[in-house]
Amino acid sequence: MRMAVLRYMGMNQSTQSAEGGLLVTRFRIQGMTCGACVRHIAAVLEAMPGVVHVAVDLTREEGRVDHLARWVGDSALIEAVADAGYAASLATEATADVGRSQAGAKACCCG
């Protein structure tokens, strides 16, 4: 459905990618303990204007967001995750393959 909205607005994925407008942001997320946490974070990010696709992985403690650069930036995505009650930071090469860690995890969002 989101691609249909983009096409309606006169944009499509290939045009945005070619122009540098569609960005992929990967980040580390700490504090998730269950599937409800994953759904909560995904819902928060999906509600943001300019977000095209969201994937959150509990096991790897990672998130990936495809978004339109003109509408939402990396810092706004990180801030939204933080406002939802989780620690988030941009992924780097050094942290991209780090496994799940429970250090500093908050209580589960569902109880």
pLDDT for the residue numbered 91: 86
Where would I find the H helices in the chain? Answer: 2-8, 13-19, 35-46, 74-83
Average pLDDT over residues 17-45: 88
pLDDT (mean) for 39-54: 96
Residue 105: inside a domain, yes or no? Answer: no
Residue 15 lies in a domain: no
Domain total for the chain?
1
Q: Where residue 35 sits, what CATH number does that domain have?
A: 3.30.70.100
Is position 79 within any domain?
Answer: yes
Q: What are the phi and psi torsion angles at 8 (to 5°)?
A: -60, -35
Is residue 37 situated within a structural domain?
A: yes
Asked whether residue 102 is assigned to any structural domain, the reply reads no
- Give this prediction's pTM: 0.69
Range of the domain at 76: 21-90
The 10s digit of each residue's pLDDT in 59-79 is 999 999 999 989 999 999 999
Could you read off the pLDDT of 85-97 as tens digits, one per residue? 999 999 874 444 4
* Rounded Cα distance, 57 and 82, in Å: 16
